[in-house]
Amino acid sequence: MTKIANVGVGGKNPVRIMGILNTSPESFYKKSIHTIKNDVKNSVKQMENDGADFIDIGGMSTAPYLTTVVSEKIETKRLLDAIKIVQNSSNLPISIDTCRANVARIVLEQGIDIINDISGLKFDKKMKDVISEFIPSLILCAYDSKTVLGNDVTLTKKLLGDSLKIAEKSQIPSEKIVLDPAIGFFRKTGKGPLFTKIKTDWLKRDLSIIKNLKSIKQKFPLLVSVSNKSFVGEIISKDNPSDRIFGSVAAEAISVLNGADIIRTHNVDATKDAITIASKLIK
C-alpha cells in the first residue's frame, strides 16, 4: 500500500487533499501567497481545520506563462522560513514543491517528508543523488525538457515511466511514489523553463488527460492539481484566477470520479465538500 509521509493514499483510502501554501510573491494565484509569519500560520491552521491531509509549500512559482525563476538562495530562504512556522503550528505532513537538488537537500535536512518535483527528477541531474540519500516520499510529474510529439495519454504515461525509472535507480520504494499528470504544464510556448513543449492544443491535452486518468495511473496513486488553472479559465472565460473557484471545484470532483487519489488545491474547504460528494458517486 502506498504511503506518503505515513498517510495512506490510493486503493481503499479516502481521497486525500493537499493544501497549497505559496511563499513566492510571483505566483499566479495571489490569494495563495503568504509571506508574513501570522499569515502563514493562520493559513495552515485554516487548511488543517478545513480537512487538508498535507501542506505543499512552494518557494518559486513555476507557472509556464510567467517569468518567475529566482535564485536557489531566495527559494531556500522562503521555504525554510515557512517550514519553521508550519512545523510549529501544525502536525500535517509537509511537501516541498521544488525541482532543484540543493534546495531539496536543505529542506530534507529539516525533516521534510515529501518532495514534489514538477520535473519528475529530470530538471536537476543531482536530484536523484539527493533523494537516494534521504529516501523521501515523492510526487513525480510528467515532464520533458525537449519538444514532445505523440498521443497525449500515451506520451504522459511514457514520461511518467521515465521518472519512475530514475526513482527506482535511486532506491525509492514504489510504495512511496505518487504520479502527477502535469495539468497546465504542457504548452506551445512559455517564459519559464519548467514546462513541456508540445505542438498541439494545450487545452485539448489537459482535457484528454483528465478524461483518461484511470489509464494513466496504472498501479500508482494519482495526484491531480487543477485548482484555478488556465484550462478552467479558458473553458469558463474567466481571466482572473480568483474567479475560477467554481470551475476548479467541478474539475476536481470529475477528477475524483475519473480516478484521482489526491487533489492539490488552493480551496481546501470547497474541495473537501466536492470530493466527499464525488467519492459517494463512484461506481
Q: What is the pLDDT of residues 38-73, one digit of tens each?
A: 888 999 999 999 999 999 999 887 766 566 678 899
pLDDT at 113: 94
H helices, E strands: number in the chain: 10, 12
Full residue range of the structural domain in which residue 8 is found: 3-278
pLDDT at 70: 85
pLDDT at 31: 59
pTM over 0.85: yes
Q: What is the pLDDT of residues 116-128, one digit of tens each?
A: 999 999 999 999 9
State the total domains in the chain: 1
Confidence of residue 188 (pLDDT cuts 50, 70, 90): confident
The answer to whether residue 238 is domain-embedded is yes
The answer to whether residue 246 is domain-embedded is yes
CATH number (domain holding residue 256): 3.20.20.20
The answer to whether residue 146 is domain-embedded is yes
The answer to whether residue 202 is domain-embedded is yes
The answer to whether residue 110 is domain-embedded is yes
**Across-strand partners of 265?**
19
Q: What is the pLDDT of residues 161-174, one digit of tens each?
A: 999 999 999 999 99
The answer to whether residue 283 is domain-embedded is no
Q: At residue 156, does pLDDT exceed 70?
A: yes
The answer to whether residue 18 is domain-embedded is yes
The answer to whether residue 243 is domain-embedded is yes
**What span, in angstroms and rounded, lies between the C-alpha atoms of 86 and 55?**
9
Strands (E), the chain: 3-4, 7-8, 16-22, 54-58, 94-97, 114-117, 137-141, 177-180, 186-187, 196-197, 223-224, 262-265
Q: For residue 15, give the DSSP letter.
A: P
Q: For residue 283, give the DSSP letter.
A: -
Report residue 83 as a C-alpha cell: 517550514
